[in-house]
Amino acid sequence: MVTLAKKLLSKASGQSKLTAGDIIICDVDLAMIHDSGGPRRVKPILERLNRKVWDKNKIVVVTDHYVPADSDETRAIQALTKKWVKDQSIENFYDEQGICHVVLPERGHLTPGIFCVGGDSHSPTGGAFGAYMFGIGATEMAGVLATGSIWIQTPETILMSWKNQLPEYVTAKDMMLAMCSKIGMGGGRYQAIQYAGETIRSLPMQERMTLSNMAAELGAQVGLIAPDETTIAYVEAAGGQVPENWRDFQIETAEKPSNIINFDATNLSPQIAAPHSPANADDASEFRNIGFDVAYIGACTGAKYIDLVAAAKVLRGRHIANGITLKVAPASLRDQNRAKDDGIMQVLQDAGAEFLSNSCGICAGYGEDRLGENQVCISSTARNFKGRMGAQTSAVYLASPYTVAASAVTGTLTDPRLLLGE
């Protein structure tokens, strides 16, 4: 059975027939690194190997973790990043333009059929474009930068098959939390997760990106979605190069029926995941009347343009509750500017939101805005692990931007449909 994962790996490895478990060597079409795990980690390794990067045109560098640089240490890291990029003659460098997983596709670097690695655990985001993309550590990345290749064990595919259309105000984030709840954080078993079915095909690209991004929360290596006309329209608008054979990657299958997990979108409700795991998800109504201190709309999963629009639908004409702090960190500068031009940022500001930089920020526990002792947060981020967003005594609930915004208005965890008339 030829799955999408095997089709992509056959192209990357030059081997026409692959079986799950086969170990292969793949040529890398694109390597992405950021300021935290990138130059400061790989530079000394490459120097010991006396190697420069194998192909400067296939490397993308993004500064997004240590942004803003607010200490001597972070300023030194940013300076090192910029010098290394210059020394290696890398032109695809995006400095303080947003989070790498959003910047990479919006600048046209992702397209169906390519094989990519990223120096970040949420690199499976690239799978939304029909690309095989996964995260690796700094040592493996140094090997890729030196040689342009990497070994991989061919995975099986677990097909997450969705039918019917989502109810209004229910999003890809809700789908993802429901999947985490059903199969658990290790449910992907280091395999290839693929999202398929009519529900997936109806989603816009930024919603698909949320699904692929959070394949990491299922324990999967990649989170694939077969490309279609929606994919191609996005890639072309971003200036990417669409391969003539992109339809060859329109595959939605698994090796065996037991690898197919079926979901029905019809009756899905907004979801909330309790601390300290995305798998602790249930209907938002089950969490009513739980209080919190901070509402956070940020990260690659929860602050793209489409997420900011969702939050604004709730917040228009409303104001956040007394005692609640609403912090918004748009995922990219482009998305922020688009939201500004469309009046979305003004709606958020009028509701009482505070704006942070276009960076990973609180989601990754960076910067000065981390959660304090015993603070409780409802967040649109991907993870709510203990201590990830700040103090070990803090607690984080995960939800969609709709739910985060609605909760910020009421002051307790709230199903957004209670405010939006459903």
pLDDT value for 188: 67
CATH architecture of 272-420: 2-Layer Sandwich (3.30)
Question: For position 377, what pLDDT does the model report?
Answer: 97
Domain spans, the chain: 4-264, 272-420
Domains 4-264 and 272-420 fall in the same CATH topology = yes
| 414 within 8 A of 288, measured Cβ to Cβ | yes
Burial of 355 (0-12, 13-18, 19+ CB in 10 A): middle
Which pLDDT score, from 0 to 100, does residue 422 have? 55
Nearest residue to 226 (alpha-carbon basis) of 265, 197, 261, 187: 197
Q: What is the pLDDT of residue 266?
A: 97
Segments of the chain with pLDDT less than 50: none
pLDDT digits (tens, 9 = 90+) for 297-327: 999 999 999 999 999 999 999 999 999 999 9
Helix (H), strand (E), coil (C) string for the chain: CCCHHHHHHHHHHCCCCCCCCCEEEEECCEEEEECCCCHHHHHHHHHHHCCCCCCHHHEEEEECCCCCCCCHHHHHHHHHHHHHHHHCCCCCEEECCECHHHHHHHCCCCCCCCEEEECCCCHHHHHHHCCEEEECCHHHHHHHHHHCEEEEECCCEEEEEEECCCCCCCCHHHHHHHHHHHHCCCCCCCCEEEEECHHHHCCCHHHHHHHHHHHHHHCCCEEECCCCHHHHHHHHHCCCCCCCCHHHHCCCCCCCHHHEEEEECCCCCCEEECCCCCCCEEEHHHHCCCECCEEEEECCCCCCHHHHHHHHHHHCCCCCCCCCEEEEECCEHHHHHHHHHCCHHHHHHHCCCEECCCCCHHHHCCCCCCECCCCEEEECCCCCCCCCCECCCCEEEEECHHHHHHHHHHCECCCCHHHHCC
Quickly name the fold that domain 4-264 has.
Answer: Aconitase; domain 3 (3.30.499)
Cis status of the peptide bond prior to 112, with omega within 30 of 0:
no
